[in-house]
A and B are shown apart, each in its own frame.
Chain A
Amino acid sequence: MLENLKNFKNTKDNTVSQGKYLSTVFLMEIDHQEYLINIHNGVVVDVKTGPFVMPRWSFALRSTLEIMEEFWSERPKPGFHDLMALIKFKRMRVDGDVQLFMTHLFFIKALMESMRNKDLKS
């Protein structure tokens, strides 16, 4: 489902381009389905679909399919339209190396929003 993340282009956008300083693997968990997103210098080089036996990751984003489908819809409802909104209303949980998540918040927001209005079945 998250294969489309590989199409995210680390553009010359001044804020998103800061992603070139991010190389990590993070976990996305949607309704207990796990995905490992591997980023190298701000480029998504691999998306693996779980379950995993001994996964290694820096931080994890956990939510439900219902919530993420709303977040990724063309015009999400208020409170579903932003990662920090999901977090505030406990619709998403972030754990692990939260400092890394906060350091690259602009990039991670742009990455996750790149799935907006995409076919989630691909």
Chain B
Amino acid sequence: MTVNFEPIIGRYFQASINDQPHRIYMEEAGQGIPLLCLHTAGSDGRQYRSLLNSKQITNHFRVICFDMPWHGKSSPPPGWHKKEYKLTSQQYQEMILSVIETLNIERPVVMGCSIGGRIVLHLARNHPEKFRALIGLQSGAHVNPYYDLEYLHRPDINGQVCAAIVSGLIGPNVPEDEKWETLWHYMQAGPGIFKGDLHFYTDDGDIREDLSDIDTQKCPLYLLTGEYDYSSTPEDTVDLVNRIPGCDYQLMTGLGHFPMSEDPPAFIEYLHPILNKIMSQPSR
């Protein structure tokens, strides 16, 4: 019997991140321009499963997804049990730069969603020369918490509350199987990890005051936002467009907060024009 292997290669690597040893899990497929993909808070790299399986994309791009420390199959660092996990913008940027350096990736395109869509704004501001282009999915400069984040990490509330909270962020008419695959990832997160990521999203990662420092002449910035996202709303992304000259924005009709995972074919339709533009960009 022939095994129906997917073209994705998954493996672990060792890296020093924020001065601590880490064991990181990554998946990759394809050859060409490196495209590093960043998953959302409280989830993992499986959100990009369809991009990794898309020959249309992997014929031209080397798609790389890693699980952030504490997420998916990446381990937390030694001593994790002695302190609360709280992601900061400094740690997050350092993590991405360390992974790029460890894997010897030269000037990748980085695409991030949600918290990943926020961190690409920090990367655009602080390290534009290191990237060929940046793509923000569900990007906004700041989100005020709209529920008490303490509910996300309590021994008397099952962790599936994380999935219950984000379930409505998914477009209501996307394929049912993809919706529940997306929620499954949220049900598998380690205790307190979604909450710790949201420390960056709702507090430390606020970049409203620094948007004018972003220069899209140094690094192109592309933004895609799903219309049903009530966390990072289309209005939040339009605000970015109004404040960052030269960035490229497209609303994604019918999609929500997890476009690459909740309806991959629809998302890839929106992503293609951006990837084509990046391919036609002169490489420095």
Footprint of B on A, CB under 8 Å? 15, 18, 75-76, 78-79, 81-85, 87-89, 98-99, 102-103, 105-106, 109
Contact = CB atoms under 8 A, between A and B. Distances in A.
Contacts of B164: 15, 105-106, 109
Given A15-B163, A88-B146, 18 more contacts: A75-B172, A75-B173, A76-B172, A78-B227, A79-B230, A82-B230, A84-B146, A84-B165, A84-B230, A85-B168, A85-B230, A88-B230, A88-B231, A99-B151, A102-B157, A105-B165, A106-B163, A109-B168
Interface residues of B, number: 22
Given A79-B230, A103-B158, A84 B147 contact: yes
Contact of A98 (B148, B165, B233): B148
A106 B148 contact: no
Interface in B149-180: 151, 156-158, 160-161, 163-165, 167-169, 172-173
Contacts of A15: 160, 163-164
A78 B230 contact: yes
B70 interface: no
A98 B151 CA distance: 10
Contacts of A99: 151, 156-157
B262 to A, nearest CB: 14
B61 interface: no
Contact of A78 (B158, B163, B228): B228
Nearest to B162: A105
Given A81-B172, A84-B147, A98-B148, A89 B165 contact: no
A31 to B, nearest CB: 23
Contacts of A106: 160, 163-164, 167
Contacts of B146: 84, 87-88
A43 to B, nearest CB: 20
Contacts of A83: 168
Contacts of B169: 82
19 contacts: A75-B172, A78-B227, A79-B230, A82-B230, A84-B230, A87-B146, A88-B230, A88-B231, A89-B230, A99-B151, A99-B156, A102-B161, A103-B156, A103-B157, A103-B158, A103-B161, A105-B161, A106-B160, A109-B167
